[in-house]
Structures are given as C-alpha cells and as structure tokens.
Amino acid sequence: MMTAQEYIESLRNLRPRKIYLLGEKVENPVDHPMIRPSINCCAMTYKLAELPEYQDIMTAKSALTGNTINRFVHLHQSTEDLIKKVKMLRLVGQMTGACFQRCVGMDALNAVWSTTYEIDQKYGTNYHERFKQYLIEWEEKDWTVDGCMTDPKGNRSLPPSKQADPDLYVHIVEKRSDGIVVRGAKMHQTGIINSHEILVMPTMSLSLEEADYAVCFAVPSDDPSLIYIYGRQSCDTRKLEKTTVDVGNIKYGGQEAIVIFNDTFVPWERVFMCGETDFAGMLVERFAGYHRQSYGGCKVGNGDVLIGAAAAIAEYNGVAKASHIKDKIIEMVHLNETLYSCGIACSAEGRKTPAGNYLIDIMLANVCKQNVTRYPYEIARLAQDIAGGIVATMPSDADFKSPEIGHWCNKFMIGDAKYSAEERQRMLRLIETMTMGAIAVGYLTESMHGAGSPQAQRILIQRYANLEAKKALARRICGIDEDNLL
C-alpha cells in the first residue's frame, strides 16, 4: 500500500496534463493552492490506512491475491465488508470535513466486476478476465481511480442517439484491431485531477441503436489526449489569499472537473464493455446503488464535523445552555444518525452477486440517498441558525490583522470572554464554508445531485416497492382475499 506522502509524490510523477483553472493552464497541480486541499483530502485515505488503530476498518484482505490492501480498492466479500465500508467513509469524513473523492472508484470497481461477469456469461466475451487483471494492478499499485459516469447530456428530453451533437455522450468513434477510439466528455468528476486512472461507464440505460454509447473502459489520467477543466466553487479564490482563516477548513477540500476525451485511444485489454446495450442499465444501477450507500457514511462524517462546529459556536456565543439551542443540536444529531442507519441497513441487507462480490440492498440504498438529499440541508440550516447572522457578514481576516482597525474587530467579535475572538472567527468560517462556501459543494450540492438527483432515487424506489405484494397483504387482512394462515 502507498503511504500518504507516496501518494502525493506519485501525482508529481504523472506526465504533464492539460489542466485549466480560471482560464489558465495549470503547470503544477500538486502545489496549486486551489487544488492542494483536495489532494490533502484524498491523501487522508492513505494516511489512515498507515495507522495501527485503523487497520481493521481501513484495510482488507484481497480476494484476488490474498495481500493486505487499502479498503478503497477492495471487492466487497461479505455484508461485514459493506458495513465496514460505511464506517470507513464516516471516519474519513470526520477527519477531513470535506469530500475525500476516492469512493467513486471503489463503487465503480465493484459494479464493473459483477456486470462484466454477467456480460461474459451471456455473450461469451472476456471482459471479466480483462477487468480482473486490471484490478490486480489497481490493488498492487494502490491507485486512486476516478469513476466517470455523468455525461453532459445536452437536451435531457432526447436520448444519446438523438442529440444534435453526438459528443454530448461519450461514444466510440472508431474500432481498430488494437483497440477503440472514444470521444465526448464527463462532467462533475470528483477528484479526477488527483487520480492515477479513469474508469469510464455509461450514464444511463441504452437502446439497441445506441451501441456506440454502451462503452466501459479505463485510461491513465495522464493520457495526452485528455483535457481537464477545473470547476468553480463558492469562495474558492480565498485559497489564493495569504491567510487560511477565511477559508474555514484550512487544509482539506473537494474537487470537481470536466474531462474531455478528445479522440482518446483505448487498447482492447482496457475495454470492459463495447456495445452490450442490454447491460448498460445494470452497470448504472449497481454503481448508483453502491454510491448511494456511500453517502450514508461520508456525508455523516461531514455532518459530525458541522454538528461539532455548531455546538462549539453555541459555547462561543454564550448560548449553549439555552433549551432551544440544545433542541436544535439534538435534531441535527438525530438527522445525521438516521442517515448513518440507512447506510448500515442497506449494507447489512446486501447479497452475493454471481461474480462473488457483495451488492447492497438496492431499495434501501436509494432510501438512504433520498434522505441524504434532504437532511444535510436541514442540518446546515440549523447550524446557520445557531451561529447567527455574523456567519455571513463577518469582516475578513485582513481586517482583523489590520493595524488601523484590527483592534475594533477583535473588540466587537468577542462572544463569551472565555474564548478569543480568533477562535470564534475560525469556527464561524468553518460553518460558513460547510454551508455556503467551497466545502458546501461536497456536503450540500453533492448530497442533492451526487449519485443521481432525487428523482433518480424515486424511480428506483418505485421499481423496487413491490406494490402488488403489498396490495395482496391488504386484501387478505380486510377479507377481500381468503386468509388460509389461521
């Protein structure tokens, strides 16, 4: 396994990439002040695996080699593995207070593993063996792999084959004896600048005429054909300032980017689906299920940080003993633990796939994510309520340090005199960044749209609701159908 420092250095060893941020090409992404916090965040997934006290939760025994590996590159072998995954994600979320980006690759590898097995069973292809060899290398090198699913989509009312521009969905433009050439883009790619590899999947169920869009493949993140455009986040340029105080989360952060596949060549050994449209929906559903489970861990860990910040600012404001403040914090904890309960439940109810790894309970995973689209927003609202209006109107750190007006800022920013103005200032900035600043992307916007927007979960909940069986229960109980049980 890589150490955290080895991970950071491995990113320096990637070939020069075409990365654009604020309209300029980034020559050194590892040390760029707007990118480095997200690298630190991902590095935490390696650091915790180094520490003896977290070995059980952060590492696992490989089902392929028997070696000890980071759990982020593990094929789930039991419901216990699924539960440990949720616990691991909560832990890393607690340690970073932000999106640590490595979940997507873990969820993709488990979805692709079982789907390729079933494609081979039907069509006699050898995708599963290809993916197995790729995964062994993935485990041995302890890669961070970005799972790419979301396409630009263009006109959402039209399928890929009907779009005015075919590149609005990633598709095959050429098949060669040695591989395929693909074109298009993937949006909202969490941690892609910080990844060693990219694993691309379809974004939706596909019809027979859309075979060129039914493609799953892997490419190195430093493939020279790729173009990256880094996404803006609220208050992101604060990271360029001399002070870290106004950033709130002073060391960690998330990352989203667009990646463009500009006639990218993929050798056949890295192609894991090529035209099997009838399996595109399966791959999407399984990946989405795993990723919706993930949110019952990572967002809960972030929630723990925000709840702690709200409780601390209540003390700094001198209102911690007020009954309504206590009640609001209790409500925040209740909502957060409800999300965690959903993540544990869909894991405990998991099942073994024909390929041998374990899949979560799809219904409960979608219930988990449906709750995640709501509860973090209420937790954030309550945190802002407890913090007070100053969370959005506080002077800058430069004002606090100004020789002319700094003493006024420190004089009037005091709450309870037991705590310094700077302590209150820092805690307010943390609440600000988690509820409406840069980290809010990972805690709130991701909670809404990551792993599919709310309607996507509702569609799956309806599909798995088994209403006919429930109606039969009701008919028997009220006497419409015969009851032969007693």
Hey, which residues are catalytic here?
99, 103, 190, 256, 291, 295, 298, 446
Cα 35 to Cα 14: distance, rounded to the nearest angstrom: 16
**457-477 as b/e, with b when 16 or more CB fall inside 10 Å?**
beebbeeeeeeeeeeeeeeee
The secondary structure of residue 395, as a DSSP letter, is P
Distance from C-alpha of 312 to C-alpha of 428, rounded to nearest angstrom: 10
Instruction: Name the packing angle between helices 79-96 and 323-348 (round to 10°).
Output: 150
Q: How many CA atoms lie within 13 A of 374 on its CB side?
A: 11
CA distance 171 to 193: 22
Q: Could you write out the DSSP letters of every residue in 317-338?
A: HT-TT-HHHHHHHHHHHHHHHH
Q: Kindly report the backbone phi and psi dihedral angles of residue 228, in degrees, each rounded to the nearest multiple of 5, phi listed first.
A: -115, 135
Q: Rounded to an integer, what distance in angstroms lies between the CA atom of residue 414 and that of residue 317?
A: 8
The answer to whether the annotation marks 190 as part of a ligand binding site is yes
* DSSP E strands, 353-462: 358-359
DSSP string, 76-143: P-SHHHHHHHHHHHHHHHHHHSS----HHHHHHHHHHHHHHHHHHHHH---HHHHHHHHHHHHHHHT-
Token representation of residue 196: 């060693």
Beta bridge pairs of residue 179: 176, 267
Residue 155 structure tokens: 């006109």
Q: Is the torsion defined by CA of 183, 187, 193, 198 positive or negative?
A: negative
Could you list the residues known to form a binding site, using ranges. Answer: 190
Could you list the residues known to form a binding site for FAD, using ranges. Answer: 190
